[in-house]
Amino acid sequence: MDWNCLACVVAQGSAWQFKGWPFKGGEAEIFSKACGFFFRFTHERPNQTAKGWHLNNLVFSVEKTRKHEVDALMVSFWDSLHKFIASKKPFLLAKPKRDVIDHIEHFVA
């Protein structure tokens, strides 16, 4: 696997999840090189093992009256991941074709 292309990791909260990964610095190194996420429900306590890791915590509600918040959480997930890739791994982003750029520049100019 090309570990340099790793952009996102969803953590379960257990260190054994990363056993055998080629990062000598452990979870600190992993989450400096990949955007980390931890999902949980509001009634669950935050995972104490994952507490010290650099993770984006996304907390879902099980209440029927708050189901609309799932959309906002998903937008947050993709927004965080895109910002991470743009700042730390821009080579992973698709590059627009030259003819598309020329077409856009024609209308902007």
Using one digit for the tens of pLDDT, what is the confidence trace for 28-57? 999 999 999 999 998 898 888 888 899 999
What CATH code is assigned to 3-108? 3.40.50.11990
Taking only the tens place, the pLDDT of each residue in 50-72 is 888 999 999 988 887 777 788 88
Q: How far is CA 102 from CA 42, 90, 91, 107, in A?
A: 48, 22, 21, 9
Residue among 15, 8, 9, 6 nearest 50 (CA): 15
By the 10 Å C-beta count (0-12 exposed, 13-18 middle, 19+ buried), 40 is classed as middle
> Which residue ranges make up each domain of the chain?
3-108
pLDDT band at 108 (very low <50, low <70, confident <90, very high): low
